[in-house]
Amino acid sequence: MNTTLAKRIFSLFVWITGLFISISLLAQSSSKPNIVLIVADDLGYGDLSCYGGKLVKTPNIDRLADQGIRCTDGYASAATCAPSRLGLMTGNYQQRYGAYSNKTSPRAKIPQQQLFIPQLLKKVGYRTAHIGKWHINRPVKNVFDELFNEINGGADYFPNTEGKLTGKLKQPMQHGWSDSLKTPYMTDAHGDAAVGFIKAQASIKQPFFLYLAFNAPHSPWQAQLELKDTYKHITPEIMQLYAAMIYSLDQNVGKVLRQLEESGVDEQTLVVFVSDNGPEWGRNYPALNWPAHWDSTIVGSAGPLSGRKAEFLEGGIRVPFILRWPRNLKANSVYTRPVSTLDLFETFRKMANAPATPSDGVDLIPYLQSKVRADPHEILFWQGGETRPIYARRGDYKLVAPLNSKEPSVLFHLATDIGEKQDVASKNPGIVAQLMDKVETWKKMIQSLN
């Protein structure tokens, strides 16, 4: 065989091998499920119809629950926005990085090697997009492929004088109604951006991860004027605004679900809907034209739970938590054991067959499919500051452990006391002692990392 012919055969072999590898990678990539993670902002446990809400009907989010699994005991990892979102994105207790609250989160020390969900998924062929609220001290542009309207806190729902949605908040804050038929409304803009991304990705057959982080229904409470008459029967007026904001949120979740269907990718897409924490007090931040009686209103509903945003009673941390994955998760199901937004990192990683990465969460799919009967977690922890109490839930018991050993611990039995009204610590000293041992172990782990 002459040299020229040998070179040609070798070149052909290399080309065919490369083509085979490319086809194989494409096949693997296209077989991976898409993931749509929808996060509402300050949405209460009792705000949705499917969780017993009465203020406003939410048919689209209810449909998501009807077609998937509604978790009754789903938790955010924190009671405020920034630390909750950091825990969600890393799958780790955000206290590992020194993030306990909105005040401490900007100083969080996140190791450069710590991957966020989209960074992990990009390693296995996913196209990633972020829409809306971020509120984490890692530049969002370094995390996602595509971005739309980054928000880091509160933001006005209507455009500025130049007609632009800025993702910023005017001071003093203004609450009220505006004509969205003439100007774009933030929640609609986020829904439209999500629809556009899904359309584009469905056409190129690349798996995608969409993080649709609505800022609704976080303050300022601003709603579309055309909805005012629909909710005029509600008092006080701040709750009219809130109801209209929930309606708009639900309508835009509906847009996303319809686009998944129209693009023919709904069967291969996991959709997750959660909130970052519980509902907020009405407060003058300051705000213009703010009636004094609004200050004592919880803007939203925690349903039967006690507490609200920034508190670690159930109303501050237990949130709507819904998953839909056709043909993989049984429709119209209810899951009653504790799960956490920390679990989404590992759940998505396993679905995408991405490289193993340490996290504090677990893959929820085997539990939701009833392949594993035990609770996903032996115990879950929360803490809102280095000097503040640690909260721990194991099974149906929840402990409040003060850092000052002179103060008594408090124990609730959530199965019989969901409103956390009755302290049963004195009747269960053994359980208190066991949980205190777990708290001490967790506290040492966190302190060793800070």
Domain stops at, among 377, 403, 424: 377
Domain stops at, among 377, 400, 435: 377
Domain stops at, among 353, 377, 401: 377
348 and 434 co-located in one domain: no
Q: How confident is the chain (450 residues) per 10-residue block, as mean pLDDT?
A: 54 52 46 96 98 98 98 98 98 97 95 97 98 97 96 92 87 87 90 97 94 97 96 96 98 98 97 98 86 91 98 98 97 98 98 96 98 97 96 98 90 98 98 97 82
237 and 268 co-located in one domain: yes
174 and 290 co-located in one domain: yes
253 and 305 co-located in one domain: yes
Range of the domain at 419: 389-449
Sign of CA dihedral 6, 7, 10, 15: negative
299 and 433 co-located in one domain: no
Does a structural domain hold residue 15? Answer: no
- Residue 98 zone, left/alpha/beta (φ > 0; ψ -120 to 50; rest): left
232 and 193 co-located in one domain: yes
Does a structural domain hold residue 4? Answer: no
Domain count across the chain: 2
Laid out side by side, the sheet with 146-151 consists of 146-151, 127-133, 208-213, 34-40, 269-275, 321-324, 69-71, 333-335
Does a structural domain hold residue 11? Answer: no
292 and 395 co-located in one domain: no
pLDDT at position 65: 98
140 and 179 co-located in one domain: yes
SS3 219: coil
| Distant-in-sequence, close-in-space partners of 384: CB < 8 Å, separation ≥ 6 | 78, 79, 80, 100, 101, 310, 312
Does a structural domain hold residue 193? Answer: yes
365 and 401 co-located in one domain: no
Amino acid at 119: Q
Does a structural domain hold residue 124? Answer: yes
Number of Cβ within a 10 Å radius of residue 141: 12
pLDDT at position 23: 44
Does a structural domain hold residue 13? Answer: no
Q: What is the DSSP letter of 426?
A: G
331 and 420 co-located in one domain: no
47 and 186 co-located in one domain: yes
Number of Cβ within a 10 Å radius of residue 292: 7
Does a structural domain hold residue 22? Answer: no
pLDDT at position 305: 98
Does a structural domain hold residue 25? Answer: no
396 and 371 co-located in one domain: no
* CATH number assigned to the domain comprising residue 82: 3.40.720.10
* CATH number assigned to the domain comprising residue 440: 3.30.1120.10
| 148, HSE (Cβ side, Cα atoms, 13 Å) | 22
pLDDT at position 6: 52
